[in-house]
Amino acid sequence: ADPVKIGFVTTLSTGAGAIGQDMRNAVDLAVEHLGGNMGGRPVEVIYEDDAFKPAVGKQKTDELVKKDKVDFVAGYIWSHVLMASYKSAVDNGTFLISSNAGPSALAGKLCNKDFFSTSWQNDTTPEAMGEVLNQRGVKKLYIMAPNYAAGKNMVTGVERTFKGKIVGKDMTKFPAQLDFSAELAKVRAAKPDALFVFYPGKHGAQFLTQYSQSGLADSVPLYTTFTVDSISLPRIGKMAEGSLMTLFWSPDLDNPANKKFVTDFKKKYGHYPSHYGAQSYDTIMLINSAVEKVQGDLSNHDAVRAALKEADFNSIRGDFKFGNNHIPIQNFYLRQVVKDADGNYTTKIVSTVYKDHQDSYAKDCKMN
């Protein structure tokens, strides 16, 4: 039979390539777990590198859709790459599944029947963080995040749920702020109960280093989202140890699918998977569930969509269900950086913050 073709767009080159590599590893593992088969048809995954540029991502998506004529396009780490590529896929009637990026527009007003996500909407994770801060009795909060769309989403998220007073907020330069000493000095002067930051990817390591050198760690505890992850932990674990973050998933999340994923991933690649990998693994499993449901017959577009929407598979997060906007409704956990038995840094779940949490843009989505 003809293979089921999946295009997977992620960042493989440049310094951000580490994330793409983790995602690809997870996808490869998923395909391996499926025995290279979906609904009786072989699976072919075509990886494309967006080089961290929207224009390239868009062109690669075009290529996948028009030239390779794939059945599903998936991947996408970055909001701006996803936004640039999005129309190329859905306008041509190809399903688009985001394995990471979760801009608010696509969850709300611009939601689309052929667009799905196996990650989250940007705001939800910090919303959970706001809740955590309330629970922990934080009254005065200082916020730092880079000044771009995702950064603003994160801040909006925390502000939406946090009930105390925000005593200071710095939206730092994006893309590259080199030095945070000025902001850290302001934090010290403001004397908050806690510091919340969002510094994804390489900025995370940079921020943490400077935070730990500043001596602030003793007086102002740090709460983060997407700043520390399994990719950066081996390098910055020592500085991040004990710090708290929220997420929908953690390697120690207790369910059979996740156990299998994490164990096999570690066996195959020698380190913990990141949430990027987990989401990508779920992407493949989601596609598989739909292909199985239609018995490998992808010609009926509506049937495939309905099958995707059902999301009838064993997710690494346990139960999986979509909201009306095709974004998962899911639990959020508080996690903490710890050392595992082998001396490697990882995260463990401290508590469940939200059960079945839905993003707040879903109501703007006119799709049903």
Partner 1 sequence: MDGLLLLEQVLNGFQLGLLLFLLAAGLTLVFGIMDMVNLAHGSLYMMGAYFCATFTGWTGSFLVGALLTIPAVFLLGVIVEMIALRNLYARDHLDQVLATFGLILFFNETTRLIWGPIGLSIPLPEFLSSTVEIIPGAPYPVFRLAIILMGLLVAGLLYFIVARTRLGMLIRAGASNREMIGALGINIRLLFTLVFGLGAALAGLAGLMAGPILSVEIGMGEGILILTLVVIVIGGIGSIKGAFIAAIVVGLIDTVGRSFLPEILKLVLSDDSASTAAPAISSMLIYLLMALVLAIRPQGLFPPKGVGK
Partner 2 sequence: MTLLSPRVLINAALLLLLAALPFLTDMMGDSYYTGVTSRVLILAIAATSLNLLIGYGGMVSFGHAAYLGLGAYIVGIGAFHAIEDGIDWMLNGYYQLAATLILSALVALVIGAISLRTRGVYFIMITMAFAQMLYFTAVGIETYGGDDGLTIYSRSDMLGLIDLNDEKSLYYLIFFSFLAVLYLMHRLVGSRFGAVIRGSKSNEARMRAIGFSPYKYRLTAFIIAGTITGYAGFLMANLNDFVSPSMMHWTRSGDLIIMIVLGGIGNLFGPLYGTIAFMALEELLSSIPLTIGGLNVGEYWQIIFGPLLILVVLYARNGIDSFLPGTRERAK
Task: Classify each residue of 79-118 as buried b or exposed e, where b means 16 or more C-beta atoms within 10 Å of its C-beta.
Answer: bbbbbbbbebbbebebbbbbbbbbbbebbbebbbebbbbb
User: Which range touches partner 2 (CB under 8 A), out of 84-92, 179-187, 229-237, 292-300?
Assistant: 84-92
State the number of binding residues for partner 2 (CB under 8 A): 30
Tokens 């995707």 sit on residue: 308
User: Which range touches partner 2 (CB under 8 A), out of 62-70, 250-258, 269-277, 351-359?
Assistant: 62-70
Interacting residues toward partner 1 by CB under 8 A:
13-18, 21, 147, 169-176, 178-179, 181-183, 185-186, 188-189, 202, 205-206, 209-210, 213-215, 231-232, 234-236
Contact call for residue 113 and partner 2 (CB under 8 A): no
C-alpha span between 367 and 364 (Å, rounded): 9
Which residues touch 35 (CB under 8 Å, ≥6 apart)? Answer: none
C-alpha span between 311 and 316 (Å, rounded): 13
Single residue of 3, 37, 105, 241 touching partner 2 by CB under 8 A: 105
From 362, 294, 350, select the one nearest 322 (Cα to Cα).
362
Contact call for residue 293 and partner 2 (CB under 8 A): no
Task: Supply the minimum distance, in Å, between the C-beta of residue 335 and partner 2.
Answer: 27
Contact call for residue 67 and partner 2 (CB under 8 A): yes
User: Which range touches partner 2 (CB under 8 A), out of 148-156, 157-165, 178-186, 221-229?
Assistant: 148-156
Single residue of 37, 59, 206, 212 touching partner 2 by CB under 8 A: 59
- Tell me the helix, strand and coil percentages in the chain, rounded to 5: 40, 25, 35
Cα 326–chain centre separation: 15
By C-beta, is 260 or 271 nearer to partner 2? Answer: 271
By C-beta, is 10 or 258 nearer to partner 1? Answer: 10
Task: Supply the minimum distance, in Å, between the C-beta of residue 160 and partner 2.
Answer: 16
By C-beta, is 59 or 336 nearer to partner 2? Answer: 59
User: Which range touches partner 2 (CB under 8 A), out of 85-93, 176-184, 208-216, 273-281?
Assistant: 85-93
- The answer to whether 6 touches 43, Cβ cutoff 8 Å, is yes
Tokens at residue 367, please?
Answer: 């799709």
Task: Supply the minimum distance, in Å, between the C-beta of residue 237 and partner 1.
Answer: 10
Cα 114–chain centre separation: 20
What residues between 164 and 223 interact with partner 2 by CB under 8 A?
174
Tokens at residue 35, please?
Answer: 């025995």
Give 62-89 as a 3 state SS string. HHHHHHCCCCEEEECCCHHHHHHHHHHH
Task: Supply the minimum distance, in Å, between the C-beta of residue 365 and partner 2.
Answer: 15
